Amino acid sequence: MNKWLAVVFLVLLVLAGAMGLKSLVTHPMLANTTSPPPRVAVNNGAAPPPVAR
């Protein structure tokens, strides 16, 4: 019986660890880091005229 308990225990250990990592990665404190500003467009010329439809 102890073998089966050990197997279940190890499975739960791995599951709990994996889910803990997953929730850590998606935690707002880590997920909401400020993203770098967009790169300045190389072509800073005037926007193209609207396409006549």
Partner 1 sequence: MLGPLDYALWLAGFVMQLAVVATIFWRHAFTRYSLIVVYMLCAALVQGTQFVYLLKYGVTSRQYYFAYYYLENVLTLLLFFVVIQLCHRVFALIGASRYVRVAAALLVTGTALISYFVIRGHREHMTKDFVIQFGQDIHFVGVVLTYLLWVVILRLRNRPARLTQVVLALGIYFGATAVVYALRNLFPALENGFFLYGLPISGLWLPVAWTYTFLRTPDGESPAARLTPSSNGPA
- Which range in 2-10, 31-39, 42-50 contacts partner 1 by CB under 8 A? 2-10
For residues 33 and 23, give the distance between their C-alpha atoms in angstroms, rounded to a whole number: 16
- Contact between 43 and partner 1 by CB under 8 A: the answer reads no
Q: Which of residues 6-35 bind partner 1 (CB under 8 A)?
A: 6, 8-9, 12-13, 15-17, 19-20, 22-23, 26
Contacts of 24 (CB under 8 A, 6+ apart): 30
| Size of interface with partner 1, in residues (CB under 8 A) | 16
Q: Pick between residue 19 and residue 39 the one whose CB is nearest to partner 1.
A: 19
For residues 41 and 39, give the distance between their C-alpha atoms in angstroms, rounded to a whole number: 6
